Amino acid sequence: MKHWKQALIASSAGASIALGLQRRKTASLVLAGVGLVTLASEHAGKFKKLYQNLPDYLERGSKILETASLIGVGVAKFAESRGVTGWDEI
């Protein structure tokens, strides 16, 4: 990769983060897009593979979030019942 591409990717990522922290969403997204397009132009094969596997990644992510949600509900129910029992004992 040429040095100017590395500089463009790094500077656009840094500027995107800085603008995101300043809550300038549009400018932040534009700069992030510039960095991603530059990176994709250099590694087209890897991005194509990522694009093809994206549905699998999304399905796995949704399963993980669903499981975490069920665990959270279970913990909340346990804490609620435990709290009621504790107050009854007092």
Instruction: Give the tens place of pLDDT for each residue, 21-80.
Output: 999 999 999 999 999 899 888 888 888 898 899 999 999 999 999 999 999 998 888 777
* pTM of this structure: 0.55
In angstroms, how far apart are the furthest CA atoms of the chain? 71
Neighbours of 3 (CB within 10 A): 7
Query: Half-sphere exposure of 67 toward its Cβ, with a 13 Å CA cutoff?
Result: 6
